[in-house]
Chains A and B, each alone.
Chain A
């Protein structure tokens, strides 16, 4: 058993710094590179791509990235774990094998985790007695069944552990929890018992700290943000994990950013609910048990983590089509910038009303004034504001109404208040609204499957 392992976060979301995973394997030695690519909206986008081309449906950045990092990872023995397989992890793995072949790698084993995609099994699951009721509204999924775009179960760390045990250099999954990507190598390397919920929780907390990339190493830091050094070359976080469940969050030497009590604490609070009940497929972690010790030099020790047994359910995330939306903006300058923007909004709304269009919602915001903090925004010196961007967004089940809204924006330039600019890029086009349907499914109704493919 290894005395410690280093797990590096390479991506906080699909679209994060392209060079981050390369820097993580290049600028120092790590045992694992973990990359989270899947936000909720990503699954529906990937499903649409797969519908058009059955060979697509995964994070397309992966093959290009592998071309750069595979030679380094092979040389250093760094294993890669990612959920970037999206709705087509097999094709993703095949694309990676192609890349490996092209750059002269002669041996590579990839484990693919399947079974999370239940889009074509909804009827069968309903017949088994699980109506996939919406976790927020308790409504049965039957009400949106015909409009479903994607439906995936969140698996945890265990299928990845199985892949690692089979000898994989790379594990590519579909919908897996962000935290499972980091917990898995700890279970595998340290031989942790999956029923030891304190250890499962320790690895889960490490995963939560790594899952948003540089958000724990100085990015989006609301404390003394101006004092964070060299954000241009920010180092992504690394967990140095030990068999007893303790770990140290750090980053490579000579990189920018900061790892401190404050930066780690902010990430621990990100997108959590009841801190004593952080539910994953692997355990229920208690965030009130976490102890942090700032060791200085960008090292924070995390320890004393407690947790409880996992629940009998997996979380399911379904996406479904729910109408259309569009947004448009125009910029008004001093004098009376805000007054002009408000007048323009009034004119636009009157015109939309006269056209008898149907909207579920029309929302107006004044960027530079109240788009972030709404009624909390300060109102002094309103008349001195240099410029205001009027932003109007609409949503409707009716495509025509949204399309027509798009044609009512540019005319405001010649038929509304003065000193207006900023209309570029043509009429705003309606985009499809993808709504979410969070649900629970009994674990016994879905079986993860691990498939090994190799060069």
Chain B
């Protein structure tokens, strides 16, 4: 069965220069195990095709049932240089929650 990540997790995103950071937090331990397996670097990179033009880094924070992703070359130059409406990547956590997860 497929579910949207939105049902399993919440999160927050922001900017670090031209990179966006996306923290994803599972609602419980079981769901953390599921997202830990399925939110791979490759899957996240593919999900953000046309948005993220650089490397994706992935970190685990089991203490918070969380994963942290750094998406390089994503914010159109970052900070005040960026012409993007969402120059700080504030809405990108929500964008990741669109992903379909196999339960």
Contacts and interface: CB of A to CB of B under 8 A. Distances in A.
Interface centre among A215, A220, A262, A268 (most CB of B within 10 A): A268
Interface residues of A, number: 50
Interface in A364-396: 365, 367, 371-376, 391, 393-395
A372 B83 CA distance: 12
B70 A273 contact: yes
A126 interface: no
B76 A372 contact: no
A266 B21 contact: no
B95 interface: yes
Contacts of B47: 376
**Chain A interface mostly:** mixed
Interface residues of B, number: 44
B21 to A, nearest CB: 6
Contact of A438 (B17, B48, B51): B17
Contacts of A220: 12, 90
Interface string A324-342: 0101000000000000000
B30 interface: no
A109 interface: no
Given A270-B23, A322-B81, A223 B15 contact: no
B36 to A, nearest CB: 14
Interface string B42-66: 0000011111000001011111111
A372 B12 contact: no
20 contacts: A222-B10, A222-B97, A223-B10, A265-B64, A266-B12, A269-B61, A269-B66, A272-B21, A275-B61, A290-B64, A322-B81, A361-B76, A361-B83, A372-B85, A372-B86, A373-B91, A374-B50, A376-B95, A435-B80, A436-B78
Interface of B: 10-12, 14-18, 21, 23, 25, 27, 47-51, 57, 59-66, 68, 70, 76, 78-81, 83-86, 90-91, 93-95, 97-98
Interface of A: 40-41, 136, 215, 220-224, 262, 265-276, 287-292, 322, 325, 327, 361, 363, 365, 367, 371-376, 391, 393-395, 433-436, 438
